[in-house]
Homo-oligomer: A and B are copies of this chain.
Amino acid sequence: MQVAIIGVTGYAGKILYQLLSHHPYVSNINLYGHEDGTPHQYLLDPSIQEYVSIQPFDAATIMANNDVLFFATPAGVSTKLANPFIEHDFPVIDLSGDYRLQDINQFEKWYQKPAPSPEALLKTNYNLPEFDTPEQTYIANPGCYATATLLGLAPLVQNHLLDNETIIVDAKSGVTGAGKQPKSSNQYVHANENLSLYKINQHQHIPEIIQELQTWDPNLAHIQFSTTLLPVDRGILATIYVKPTAAFQKLLANNADTLKTIYQRVYQTKPFVNVYPPDQMPDLKTVVGTNNCLIGLTYNPITNVIMIVSVIDNLLKGAAGAAVQNFNQLFNFSETSGLPMTNYNL
């Protein structure tokens, strides 16, 4: 296949390029910018001094020369550029947040930008690859925090085992989550030897998490969700605290393995999600460099709190890796094609 990427100069775009370069069903990658202009050369990989050519944006050319397009662009870009692709039902996988929220008011509230048109939204799908199947050819790829949180909560929410009023997610992310543009929040001296909370009750991944949770349990109305910046390059660790329903509490009290059993049942067929043995918690470094999501589980009978730890690499499973999963799904390739399941970490 011929694939197009817009946004290779960002973090997720670069990782996406590298994944697709080694993908067994991709024969060629064409790179495009956000704007008109002339082609230019870009040093993508200094290690092998690899320069790539970035073409100006032109929807017709992109559709003529490619089988699929990936947007790895900042918020607001695909809202402006995607209409021709949507009109022609041209396959698109959009790593940005632009088409994730079906409710225009929610989008404008959380993103503080103009939303896509309702007509466009009707022809797009939010697609968490473990649980969704694309009905449209325009796929909104999930956000990184959303993926870690949703995979951590899915088995309990889908089976209605939670007191929905008790969900608290304390999520932590590495600095690449803040993007590549130099700014105060991604400076070395700001993040190094530090820990800081940001976007207090205002992170734009909150509404997409709730939207997806509600497809599993319409009674679920909200979650408490906080985001903390870690002094690491990559990785998200979400610590999730919830209380069980009264019925589920009894099951947990009787059988310590109940929690693990429920998660195993859901995830045994999902190649990228691994559930740890009870009371063992995955760490960040184990998952970085892979497309995996690792899940640890513990139940504290004294406080009646279930703690779930969900870790992913924010640039792989949280962005480019999930995009390739969606690509594999859209074109019926094997789900793990071109995706790393182990790393060279120590």
Contact surface of A with B, Cβ cutoff 8 Å: 11, 14-15, 18, 45-50, 165-166, 168, 170, 172, 175-176, 180, 182-184, 186-197, 200-201, 222-224, 226, 228, 230-235, 237, 239, 241, 274, 276, 279, 281-290, 292, 294, 296, 298, 300, 302-305, 307, 309, 315-316, 340-344, 346
Contact = CB atoms under 8 A, between A and B. Distances in A.
A279 B200 CA distance: 7
Contacts of A274: 47-49
A182 B232 CA distance: 18
Contacts of A11: 189, 346
Contacts of A226: 239, 307
Contacts of A47: 274, 282, 286-287, 290, 292, 294, 341-343
A42 to B, nearest CB: 14
Contacts of A176: 189, 346
Given A201-B298, A230-B231, 12 more contacts: A18-B342, A46-B294, A49-B274, A176-B189, A192-B233, A195-B230, A200-B281, A201-B307, A224-B241, A224-B300, A231-B231, A289-B344
A296 B200 CA distance: 11
Main secondary structure of the interface of A (DSSP, over half): mixed
Contacts of A201: 298, 300, 302, 307
Contacts of A303: 165, 222-224
Q: Which 9 pairs show the lowest CB-CB distances between chains A and B?
A: A196-B283, A194-B285, A182-B182, A197-B281, A170-B170, A224-B303, A195-B284, A175-B188, A224-B305
A201 B306 CA distance: 11
Contacts of A289: 344
Contacts of A197: 239, 281, 283, 296, 309
Contacts of A342: 18, 45, 47-48, 50
A283 B194 contact: yes
Number of copies: 4
A172 B342 CA distance: 27
Contacts of A346: 11, 14-15, 176, 180, 189, 233, 315
A191 B186 CA distance: 11
Among A195, A287, A289, chain B packs the most CB atoms within 10 A around the CB of: A195
Contacts of A228: 237, 239
A293 to B, nearest CB: 10
A304 B221 CA distance: 12
Contacts of A302: 201, 222
A189 B168 contact: no
A237 to B, nearest CB: 5
A182 B180 contact: no
